[in-house]
């Protein structure tokens, strides 16, 4: 648990899009990196808030009433219970902060659900 | 550089307020944690943007035209060149993302400047 995390190095370990990996913890929260390419699934996290921060590329967070387009360094908070669907047309990398145990597909489930893992 | 960072553990290593410590890197950016208690100094970072994320407590970022009050999980971006002065009435912990080499006191300098350090 000591040492300093190198996110650029961690990103190089990501291959499959939408397969998030834990790079750190803050109490009950996990710090997660993920590659985004293409479109994910519509889902909501009923009781948990997610902070998105784009590291590289360009992320669109589709909401039911609008699209939020984020570039590097632009944070966005998805409130609990709000349906969203991330997508990216180019290879994009994001940092997420969300409670431990939050499933990547939220209430949607399905075959794009991934177990929590550290890298 | 491997492993997973435990921010809660890192925060326990912070003693002096306004003495930031690096917990990670993302390319040319540093991920920094700092304790905030009392008032810092007014300063600006002429060419660099800073992302603030409160981990614990309550942070007021004084700007020249208003105060921004942040609780845990509420991110705020201070644009380049914008004068600001962080303060907190209670012990508060923040995560910052900003370019490597950015001095904590920006253009103000003075005896509250701290060298970059890792914890």
Tokens of A95: 């940092």
Q: Does A40 reside within a domain?
A: yes
Predicted confidence (pLDDT) at residue B3 exceeds the cutoff of 90: no
A31–B74 CB contact, under 8 Å: no
Of residues B117 and B74, the one with the higher pLDDT is: B117
Q: Does A2 reside within a domain?
A: no
Of residues A27 and B107, the one with the higher pLDDT is: B107
Mutate to test the interface with A, among B24, B25, B26 (most CBs of A within 10 A): B26
**What are A85-112's pLDDT values in tens digits?**
999 999 999 999 989 999 999 999 999 9
Tokens of B5: 């960072």
Q: Does A107 reside within a domain?
A: no
B27 confidence band (pLDDT: 50, 70, 90): confident
Do residues A55 and A95 touch, judged by C-beta distance below 8 A? Answer: yes
From the list A8, A24, A75, which residue is nearest B4 (CB)? A24
Do residues A58 and A50 touch, judged by C-beta distance below 8 A? Answer: no
Helices (H) and strands (E) counted in chain B, each on its own, are: 1, 8
Mutate to test the interface with B, among A24, A28, A29, A71 (most CBs of B within 10 A): A24
Q: What is the DSSP string of B59-74?
A: EEEEESS-EEEE-TT-
Write phi, then psi, for B10 (nearest 5 degrees): -65, -40
- The residue behind tokens 């700007």 is B63
Tokens of A54: 């784009």
**What are B75-107's pLDDT values in tens digits?**
888 999 999 999 999 999 999 998 999 999 999
Q: Does A118 reside within a domain?
A: no
- CA torsion through residues A103, A105, A107, A110, sign: negative
Predicted confidence (pLDDT) at residue B36 exceeds the cutoff of 90: yes
- In this structure, the dihedral spanned by the alpha carbons of residues A98, A103, A107 and A113, taken in order and rounded to 10 degrees, is 140
Q: Does A74 reside within a domain?
A: yes
Q: What is the DSSP string of B30-64?
A: EEEEEEEEEE---B--TT--EEEEEEES-EEEEES
Predicted confidence (pLDDT) at residue A12 exceeds the cutoff of 90: yes
Closest CA to A38 of A2, A90, A115: A90
**What are B41-50's pLDDT values in tens digits?**
999 999 998 8
Q: Does B104 reside within a domain?
A: no
B2 confidence band (pLDDT: 50, 70, 90): low
> What domain range is A75 assigned to?
7-99
Closest CA to A34 of A64, A10, A58, A5: A10
B3–A7 CB contact, under 8 Å: no
- Number of domains into which chain B is organized: 1
**What are A28-85's pLDDT values in tens digits?**
889 999 999 999 999 999 999 888 988 999 999 999 999 999 998 788 889 999 999 9
A2 confidence band (pLDDT: 50, 70, 90): low
Q: Does B108 reside within a domain?
A: no
The CATH number of the domain holding residue A63 is 2.60.120.10
Q: Report the complex ipTM.
A: 0.73
Residue B115 and residue A92: Cα distance in Å, rounded?
33
Q: Does B80 reside within a domain?
A: yes
């Amino acid at each position: 648990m000591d040492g300093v995390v190198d996110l650029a190095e961690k990103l190089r370990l990501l291959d499959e899009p939408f397969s998030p990996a834990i790079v750190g913890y803050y109490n009950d929260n996990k710090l997660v990196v993920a590659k985004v390419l293409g479109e994910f699934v519509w889902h909501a996290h009923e009781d948990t808030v997610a902070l998105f921060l784009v590291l590289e590329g360009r992320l669109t967070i589709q909401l039911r009433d609008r699209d939020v387009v984020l570039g590097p360094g632009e944070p966005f908070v998805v409130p609990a219970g709000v349906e969203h669907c991330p997508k990216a047309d180019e290879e994009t990398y994001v940092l997420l902060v969300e409670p431990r145990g939050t499933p990547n597909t939220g209430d949607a489930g399905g075959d794009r659900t991934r177990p929590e893992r550290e890298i």
